[in-house]
Amino acid sequence: MASKQASKRLAREYKSISENPPPYISAHPSESNILEWHYIITGPEDTPYYSGQYWGTLIFPSNYPFAPPAIRMHTPSGRFQPSTRLCLSISDFHPKSFNPAWEVSTILIGLLSFMTSEEMTTGSVSATPRERKMFAERSRWWNSTGGGSHAKNPAQKGNVKAGDGGAKFRSEWPEVDKENWSAMAEKNINTVSGELIRASCGPALGSAGRGQTQSVVDTVVQQRDAGTGWLSRNRLLVMGGVVFIYVLIARLLGEAEDA
């Protein structure tokens, strides 16, 4: 349970960050627990995280601001292990280095700065820019579907990991969740796999397909033959007849000259 001082401080900070949010950052406390904050970082331009939607939590101690929060990012990013506590100078890994003057906005700006660097720490991972771009493209799908687990009737509703079917994200960010589903529908995204659904350019050539294909070929051949004259179709026979007649005439002419 939050102390009176922590509740008062966090309520003031929520008002401040709502009225003047830092660039690329949105955050709010959970309705049921002011010590549990949820944030979304939108990937900045000129980074491999561009347009990605990175959701995470700050879990504050009851004696905040005299101790820092635990920081996690749940959305796969290629930068941090999902739902793993991050070892940062502004996190609960280093309580002695935390400055009580730092606010929620200060903490999240620091997290964003660390995210866009290549410095390694506990909870961070290595990935190529291309891999991070792929995570960014799938981030909205992952948040709203729980990594596709919405279709598997997940048992652990409220778990912030992939198996919750997107329930926790939906409860904390209902409007953002609606936008994500609309975007997936517009982009024709498979909500189970997160992949783009590509339209088929023709029927599959299975057993039925091969029969259809053979029918087309037969029809073309028939149309070709129907449009070709008798002379063209029997040109060898005609040529043979011409040669035979030529030889016969030559022989008759030769016999006439001998007579």
**DSSP-H helix ranges across 146-206:** 167-172, 174-186
The pairing of strands 25-30 and 33-42 is antiparallel
Catalytic residues: 87
Q: Can you give the C-alpha Rg of the chain in angstroms?
A: 36
Cβ pair 117, 86 in contact under 8 A: no
Residues 172, 173, 174: CA angle, nearest 5 degrees: 105
Question: By the 8 A CB rule, do 90 and 68 touch?
Answer: yes
The helix-helix angle for 104-115 and 4-19 (nearest 10°) equals 60
φ, ψ of residue 112 to 5 degrees: the values are: -60, -40
Cα distances (angstroms) measured from residue 239 to each of 182, 186, 242, 249: 72, 66, 5, 16
Q: In sequence order, what E strands does 43-173 have?
A: 53-59, 70-73
* DSSP type of residue 68: P
Tell me the DSSP string of 205-234. -SHHHHHHHHHHHHHHHHHHHHTS-HHHHT
> Residue type at 23?
P
